[in-house]
A and B are shown apart, each in its own frame.
Chain A
């Protein structure tokens, strides 16, 4: 008898059969949630970085460049109070918009935009011809960044509309002062300057967030695939090892039969043939690429029973749906208990559909009470029904889960 098939009977070990179940237990369950959560988290982090940058730029322009220029020439404005007042108004509105944007609850943009455009027009009117194109006319440089800040996360069309309105206001102001060719050239340059940078940052920010989300989704998908491949690879390796073991046992019996050292009439030789055939048949029947946890548990129980010398058939039809550990335990454990009592042979079948899993263990009915497990009867364990009966021919245990 080969070593692998000839392990001394050990009832305690058989009863411990479902022990390996935890191995695959929870690995697959959080995977799908992670597949969705990870790209969203990466996108959020990336977007938050971009918001900080936008708020920083707007404030740097307004405070570090706009304010000193305004204060330096404040007496030279046509209406200094209007220019300074509007600066303060935009500072307050911009601060509120910036803080709420960073907190993730942006203000409604359009009333704020109206306010800013009104301030824009007032400043252009109050700044005077002398400082129309200078740094003291802070609306040129600052306002566009506040537009970006207010419209963050929305479509770029809105930003272009606001910048166009801003340009129109500026044009009216420039024309009102009876401009020369140089003024018109300067105006064109300023318009280009205010449009290009703001729109570029706005579009760039949105694109980077989208790219980050895509990249994260790709990375997650690749990780999931790699995990599945690893599981399939492990399953394949295990199967190959077991096949080698089973094949060697079968090969030895066949070899001994061929060279005459084993007698086909010898009951022990017959038993070895039956065991080797049962194991090979079970392995041929395995068709799942990624091991299902429930089938894995049942196979482990079947393998153990077989090592204790019990020829066992395990036939599976369909794939079980993902089941919570508790349900799996209630499906598999009673049968593992009955398997420990089994003598002669055993037939373990699993029929699975999306709404139902039925597992059955049939063994010959021998005289004597049950060594383990409950007496014949029907037991209800929540969504799992456990049925056990003896009819003189067979002992028949069945667990059934219904959705």
Chain B
């Protein structure tokens, strides 16, 4: 692992990806998906996170199958996230509890295995620049979060998450909410940023938050007090 694990990915070189999965057929499939995107390059693959990262210490993003050799690798996920590794979890376990637990443990994003190539490429590219990407399955988990200490989302953020989960089309959500697609994405991403305050702290969460402030997605004064965020419903320009 490099000295600065959350080092910025520059535009000059492709994003290095490490794939950890215990099914070779899945590894090959994901590798084929990512190969079609010139901005991505797969550096190492395998079924052991430590071995894969030894082989590719400079990987910008780790694609981690949450279920390795029959057990959930949530503790490994937390360890990697705490060390600043940008981990994108992808799993066939798409029950909301698992997805939210992965976010709490510090995963940059959660991708359901059936969500396909487009979402996979988008998620990895967003993760590499510490930007949120919320695929529809994760949006469903967030909007249905039953935990009493869940982040407080504004009505618009909830509605955008719900409609995105239902339709899987931001254009359709935009038409329905009578706002631009860009604003839909802002609502969804802002909801995701609020989740960086749930669960234990992790370097990756801090990086997501910092980038969101830098991008103007959330204002620094909005951070920390969710009640006040719920009141400031207007997306930032």
Binding site for B on A (CB under 8 A): 277, 281, 284-285, 287, 315, 317-318, 347, 349, 351-353, 358, 360, 362, 389, 391, 393-394, 396, 398
Contact = CB atoms under 8 A, between A and B. Distances in A.
Nearest to A319: B146
A277 B113 CA distance: 12
B168 A315 contact: no
B140 A315 contact: yes
Contacts of B168: 347, 362
Contacts of A391: 172, 175-176
B137 A281 contact: no
A173 to B, nearest CB: 71
B137 A353 contact: no
B214 interface: no
Q: Chain B's interface: helix, strand, loop or mixed, by majority? A: helix
B165 A351 contact: yes
Given A281-B114, A317-B144, A396-B167, A351 B162 contact: yes
B140 A349 contact: yes
Contacts of B144: 317-318, 351-353
B169 interface: yes
Interface string B153-179: 000000000100111110110011000
Interface in B61-113: 92, 94-96
Contacts of A362: 166-168
A398 B169 CA distance: 15
Nearest to B113: A281
A92 to B, nearest CB: 64
Nearest to B166: A360
Nearest to A361: B166
Given A317-B140, A317-B141, A393 B146 contact: no
A277 B114 CA distance: 10
Contact of B166 (A284, A349, A353, A389): A349
Nearest to B141: A317
A284 B93 CA distance: 9
Given A349-B140, A391-B172, 12 more contacts: A281-B114, A284-B92, A315-B165, A317-B96, A317-B140, A318-B96, A347-B167, A358-B162, A360-B166, A393-B171, A394-B169, A396-B176
| 3 nearest A-B pairs in the assembled complex, by CB-CB distance | A317-B144, A360-B166, A318-B144
B135 to A, nearest CB: 12
Contacts of B141: 317
A287 B94 CA distance: 11
5 contacts: A347-B166, A347-B167, A352-B144, A358-B162, A398-B166
B143 interface: yes
Contacts of B137: 315
